[in-house]
Amino acid sequence: MKQEGIYVTTYQGKSILKGIAIGEIFFYQKEEKEIKRYKPENLEAEQKRYEKARDEAIGQLGELYKKACQEVGEVNAAVFEVHAMMLEDDDFNDAVLNMIATQGINAEYAVAMTGDNFSKMFSEMEDEYFKARAADIIDISNRVVAVLGGSGSGNCELNKPVILIAEDLAPSETVQLDKNMLLAFVTEQGSSNSHTAILARSMNIPALIGVPIRKEWNGRMAVVDGYTGTLYLDPDEETLKELKKRKQAEDEERQLLLELKGKEDVTLDGKHIKLYANIGNISDVAAVMKNDAEGIGLFRSEFLYLEKDHFPTEEEQFQAYKTVAEMMAGKKVIIRTLDIGADKQAEYFHLEHEENPAMGYRAIRICLTQPEIFKTQLRALFRASAFGNIAIMYPMIISIEEIHKIKEIVEEVKSELREQGVQFSEVEQGIMIETPAAAVMSDVLAEEVDFFSIGTNDLTQYTLAIDRQNAKLDSFYDAHHPAILRMIQTVIDNGHSKGCWVGICGELGADTELTETFLKMGIDELSVSPTFVLPVRKLIRTSKCSG
């Protein structure tokens, strides 16, 4: 990058969270110790040494689970339960113990070899779930080796605020970092769904992935620009001055937004707007509360399915929905029934390959053709309704017949619960308007439901006939296309004419360029990512619905 005659070294990555961080780089390098092979004098004692180290490692994982539950929520902490289960696995333990006995080798070497063997085996499997377990195996074997070597849990100690850069971070490494000393993350590997990314979002700090890092950057000054996905290394005085100015403005804006906490979401001409937040799992509720959302407008229940290797049981789902409902203490919690399919695949559903999965076997189509899956979820939802203010909405609707079939199944579930003496509440039921068919038929559909929630992401791609995942079509994709805005207006008008309230839960809900437009259209609710609640509240309170 060239600026006023001075070359500024910049590196481009993918931004995980917007924001600016300025500070010294700390290069986090994993401790690599050579594991030597030797022949112990007493093989039986060596096996016992391994078993003791394994038990200590399992204990460490238990402590990490507790710590992670407090910081990133139960769902994200579950990885440590998985690691503990792996260490308790008979196949893994038998392989280590057998190697010590038959090859006459030390425990460290046996664990490392077993870890490599199992990791290689998993990485070569076709099943994506088992492929992902390869990294977990290496993580747990490294933990046991560290315990055997007397190096404990291997914490990374930070003694001042830094921009942490690393090739990647394992879940156990991420959770043990001192969050008060982190200004930003920059990693070479990882994805937007990695544990590093999850932690960055939960802490609301800037983060970049996909940056080609260098060890020699350690101790140098840098700036992370989460708005543009740029890392500035040793920025010159003029660049640093400009970035500091932007950060100061960002800090001032954040402070002003905090003053909006506790304020009502009411326009200048007196209309109250329901300003809700979108979540994917239980841990996100903390961000909902922190950002003062009035409720939850979209709980993506499919994440309960995506995070498991089996169909979540009724009890597992009930506990999740009940927990969120109780935490929200009477505030509205709108839960979307599972939206598996398209870009959200769970191996155990055994969905066949489709040429056009976005328009294929997904969401309500799975629920209506596999009612046993649907009824399990509905039972959990209605049971949880006794513990809070729950509403249910159904995705990918295209016809009145689908709604009639849903209602039949719902009545079956409610009848079964009554017969079993299970308490539940009568809940609001709505549908997502994300197909052009639903938008065009919204006047008829509004007579059958309590509310509409417009899913602008899919509605836009289906209306424009553009795959939103195809980067080659970015220049054609226009979320502000007049056809989309007209369709949204039609849905609002049709919903209101039949006494049905209308909200938006797609990405456009947080598009502050359109907030005032939506208010003038007559929108009743906006559900956005938690971090957008206060910026949208600011616009609601300074706008009018009329005029």
- Residue ranges of the binding site for phosphoenolpyruvate: 300, 336, 457-458, 468
Q: Which amino acid belongs to residue 35?
A: I
Instruction: Select which of 83, 195, 367, 545 is catalytic.
Output: 195
Q: Residue 287 in contact with residue 277, Cβ under 8 Å?
A: yes
Do the beta carbons of residue 112 and residue 143 sit within 8 Å?
no
Q: Among this protein's residues, is 505 annotated catalytic?
A: yes
Binding-site residue ranges = 300, 336, 434, 457-458, 468
Instruction: Give which of 187, 153, 189, 191 is closest to 173, Cα–Cα.
Output: 153
Half-sphere exposure of 176 (CA within 13 A, CB side): 17
- Residue 525 contacts residue 274 (beta carbons within 8 Å): yes
Helix (H) or strand (E) holding 527: strand 525-528
- Selected catalytic residue, list 156, 367, 505, 545: 505
Gap between the Cα atoms of 333 and 321, Å rounded:
9
Residue 195 annotated among the catalytic residues of the structure: yes
Alpha carbons 546 and 537: distance in angstroms, whole number = 17
Residue numbering of the annotated binding site for Mg(2+): 434, 458
Whether the Cβ atoms of residue 438 and residue 398 lie closer than 8 Å to each other: yes
Q: What is the DSSP string of 20-81?
A: EEEEEEEE-------------S-HHHHHHHHHHHHHHHHHHHHHHHHHHHHHHHHHHHHHHH
Q: Residue 34 contacts by C-beta under 8 Å, 6 or more apart in sequence?
A: none
Separation of alpha carbons 163 and 225, rounded Å: 12
Angstrom distance (rounded) from CA 95 to CA 434: 51
**Which DSSP letter does residue 311 get?**
P
Which residues are marked as active site? 195, 505
